[in-house]
Amino acid sequence: MCFEAKRLAKLALGPVLMLLSMVSAGVMAAGEKVNEVNMAPGVTAVGQNIFDLHMTIFWICVIIGLLVFGVMFYSIIYHRKSRGVTPATFHESTKVEIAWTVVPFLILIGMAVPATSTLLEIYDVEDAEMDILITGYQWKWKYEYLSDDGENVSFFSNLRTPQSEIYNSEDKGQHYLLEVDEPLVIPVDTKVRFLVTANDVIHAWWVPELAVKRDAIPGFINETWTLAEEEGIYRGQCAELCGKDHGFMPVVVNVVSQGEYDEWLSGKKAEAAEIKELMAQTFTMDELMERGKAVYDRNCLACHGANGEGGVGTAIAASAIATGDLAGHLDVGINGVAGTAMQAFGGQINDVEMAAVITYQRNAFGNNMGDMVQPIDVFNHKKG
């Protein structure tokens, strides 16, 4: 029996010891960021405050825990029948009861004070220097830089990890599942206001190191902000279950210097202008097929399969749409199919991409229509 109790004491203490090791292990793992055991203080003042708050409460809990478990294990070791003790008979004490009601209450007040001030800070979205509209889609993010001059820069940010890594036919890269084709770029030391909404279901935009998590709710906008104090690449994920590929819609934020940011932004604007130019161009079949495959892998593959075999979406290989009337095919791509998971891609990808992917679908996976779609066709189709 005695042996039993010692084992119990040791094993029950296990979690407590593990809890204590949290901090030291966190220091050891810092830098390489593998097997991280603690919250990241991140690169914002709010993040640091949240981290401090988290650690304060953690240590208060550890101390209370040690006291409570200490008393319990003392009792387990010394107040056991096998030691021949006679049980006491006391069963109430108003004084003690009042004490352990009042003391925890005071401790809670002590916690509530810093918690309140940090919360007020988080809610202070005023005086932001720039605004970005974040829209959650099944299963990607759209970023739109709001400007006063009417020319908003906007783009989609998709998971870049290839299916071959996810399905284990290739080795997984360093940033497996936490990499995107186009990251959000923001300048360092700048208060950025995020307006968060969603296109379909509820998502949540979360970047631990920026200390931002906000639900994206269809129909409504939420606001939050960040002020990153260090340049770097910060990674996060969607935090609210949003359907099949909830685990596959990462967030990557690239915090850069103001100069780099300005350069990036003008690059983005130039890119938009370039696309306008491309719209007027006529492409060869090979060019369209090459571009089309890239667009397909990024936007279609998750639902329609790597070989057009279908999945959540219908099969594209030998499908009536992809091997049928061209206008009908364009219509599905541009406007989606109401009541299904097939979204209207007309507003998500540009006309060059649309032309390429439609051409690709009609001439890959054993489909052999031989026809080509040019950007101008897409443009005309949209015009009706």
Partner 1 sequence: MIRVSDNPAIDTAAKLVVVAIGMFAFVFVVMVPLYDVLCDALGINGKTSDTAYTSVQAGVDESREITIQFVATNNDGMPWEFRPDVTAMKVNPGASNDTIFLARNPLPQDMVAQAIPSVSPSRAAEYFHKTECFCFNQQPLEGGGVAEMPLQFIVDQELPRDIKTITLSYTIFDVTDMVNGAVAAR
Partner 2 sequence: MGDHHHGPAKGLSRWLFTTNHKDIGTMYLWFSFAMFIMGGAFAMVIRAELFQPGMQLVDPAFFNQMTTLHGLVMVFGAIMPSFVGLANWMIPMMIGAPDMALPRMNNWSFWILPPAFLLLASSLFMEGGAPAFGWTFYAPLSTTYAPPSVTYFIFSVHVLGLSSIMGSINIIATVMNMRAPGMTYMKMPLFVWTWLITAFLLVAVMPVLAGAVTMMLMDIHFGTSFFSAAGGGDPVLFQHIFWFFGHPEVYIIILPAFGVVSQIIPAFSRKPLFGYDSMVYATASIAFLSFIVWAHHMYTVGMPIAGELFFMYATMLIAVPTGVKVFNWITTMWRGAMTFETPMLFCIGFLVLFTIGGFTGLMLSIAPADFQYHDSYFVVAHFHYVMVAGAVFSMTAAVYYWLPKWCGRMYNETMGKTHFWISFIGFNVTFFPQHFVGLAGMPRRIPDYALQFADFNMMSSIGAFIYGASQILFLYNVIATIVAGKPVSDEKVWDGAEGLEWTVATPAPYHTFETPPTLDAKPAHA
CA distances 320 to 304, 325, 341, 353, 368, Å, are 14, 9, 18, 22, 13
Does 87 help bind partner 1 (rule: CB under 8 A)? no
Task: Decide: is 359 part of the binding site for partner 2 (CB under 8 A).
Answer: no
Question: Taking the CB of residue 270, how many other CB atoms lie within 10 A of it?
Answer: 10
Q: Which is nearer to partner 1, 21 or 152 (CB)?
A: 152
Q: Which is nearer to partner 1, 142 or 160 (CB)?
A: 142
Rounded to whole angstroms, how far apart are CA atoms 105 and 101? 6
The binder of partner 2 chosen from 23, 130, 306, 312 (CB under 8 A): 312
CB of 173 to partner 2, least distance (A): 9
When asked if residue 212 is in the footprint of partner 2 (CB under 8 A), the reply is yes
Q: Of these partners, partner 1, partner 2, none, which one is at the site of residue 335 (CB under 5 to 8 Å by kind)?
A: partner 1
Give 292: exposed, middle or buried? Use CB within 10 Å, 0-12, 13-18, 19+. buried
Contact 160, 180 (CB under 8 A): yes
Token pair listed for 281 = 């161009």
Q: Cβ closer to partner 2: 216 or 349? A: 216
Site for partner 1 in 336-375 (CB under 8 A): 336, 338-339, 343-344, 346-347
Give the strand pairing for 192-198 and 130-137: parallel
Q: Is 26 in the site for partner 1 (CB under 8 A)?
A: no
Is residue 346 within 8 A of residue 334, CB to CB? The reply is yes
Tell which positions 219-278 bind partner 1, by CB under 8 A: 219-223
Site map (CB under 8 A) of partner 2, residues 153-182, x = contact? ------------xxxx---x-xxxxx----
Residue number, 223 or 271, with CB nearest to partner 1: 223
Q: Report if residue 146 touches partner 1, rule: CB under 8 A.
A: yes
* Close Cβ partners of 197 (under 8 Å, ≥ 6 residues apart): 133, 134, 135, 136, 216, 217, 218, 219, 220, 221, 222
How many residues comprise the chain? 384
- Binding site residues, partner 1, CB under 8 A: 125-128, 131, 133, 135, 137-138, 144, 146-150, 152, 195, 197, 199-200, 217-223, 334-336, 338-339, 343-344, 346-347, 382-384
